Copies of this chain bind each other. A is one copy, B any other.
Amino acid sequence: MRRFVVVGHRAVTTPKFSLNDLPGGAGRMDIIARCVNASLFLSHDLRRDVEFFAILLGEPTPPVTIKFSGEHVRYLSPDERSPAALIKKALERGIPVEGEAEATPGVYISKRSFADLINGMDNLVYLHEDGEDIRSVELTGNETFVLSDHQNLTPEEEAVLEAKGAKKVSLGKKLYHADHCIVMVNWETDRR
């Protein structure tokens, strides 16, 4: 199972956001939506061996973790509004007292924080410009790739990754949007 974890530092944790204003009122939820697309879509197919996690850290009740399962997700289209609408539905369903709840098929909501999530995972890869070049790195297909949105990971978030021994891996000298990074990682993994 390949996993992508994206931190949405301002992505809202209320369902009361407009699908017509994902960048503004929803706290750059457009980035999260594009990352869902990049993680899960092939042409006329879904990547069933991929899971995507968004950690929403915006107001009013952070953190909230939303998981998309490539194997189980339904009602997902590639346009930005579609994953955003599924996130909205998950937030409408609300956070379960414990564990995670399936809000719509293949979309799950929980109260997990970044540290909760990362501490439960192995084979962590932190995509970072100072890391080892991805084309020289061994990839088993069982990695969890961690990315940030338009803001860098905080020192506290980086410390969580470091404590878990996450490997720093680079995509090159240019800096890319998170969704573009995910496309590159999926492509690189496809070619191994």
- Chain A interface (Cβ within 8 Å of chain B)? 19-20, 22-23, 30-31, 34, 37-38, 41-45, 77-81, 150, 171-177, 180, 183-184, 187, 190-191
The reply to whether A177 and B30 form a contact with Cβ atoms under 8 Å apart is no
Asked whether A78 and B175 contact (CB < 8 A) given A183-B183, A187-B184, the answer is no
Most buried by B among A22, A42, A174, A190: A174
Residue of B nearest to A28 (CB): B79
The reply to whether B180 and A38 form a contact with Cβ atoms under 8 Å apart is yes
The reply to whether B183 and A79 form a contact with Cβ atoms under 8 Å apart is no
The reply to whether A176 and B43 form a contact with Cβ atoms under 8 Å apart is yes
What distance in Å separates the Cβ of A44 from its nearest Cβ neighbour in chain B?
A: 7
Asked whether A80 and B77 contact (CB < 8 A) given A42-B176, A187-B171, A187-B172, the answer is no
Q: How far is the CA of A177 from the CA of B20 in the complex (A)?
A: 24
Asked whether A190 and B174 contact (CB < 8 A) given A78-B30, A183-B183, the answer is yes
Most buried by B among A22, A30, A45: A30
Q: How far is the CA of A43 from the CA of B129 in the complex (A)?
A: 12
Asked whether A20 and B23 contact (CB < 8 A) given A43-B177, A79-B80, the answer is no
Q: In the assembled complex, which residues on chain B have CB atoms less than 8 Å from the CB atom of A187? A: 171-172, 176, 180, 184, 187
Residue of B nearest to A191 (CB): B172
Q: How far is the CA of A173 from the CA of B177 in the complex (A)?
A: 25
The reply to whether A30 and B79 form a contact with Cβ atoms under 8 Å apart is yes
Q: In the assembled complex, which residues on chain B have CB atoms less than 8 Å from the CB atom of A77? A: 23
Q: Jot down 20 A-B pairs with beta carbons below 8 A, ordered by A.
A: A19-B20, A20-B81, A22-B79, A23-B79, A30-B80, A34-B34, A41-B177, A42-B176, A42-B177, A43-B150, A43-B174, A43-B177, A44-B175, A78-B177, A79-B80, A80-B80, A171-B187, A172-B190, A172-B191, A180-B183
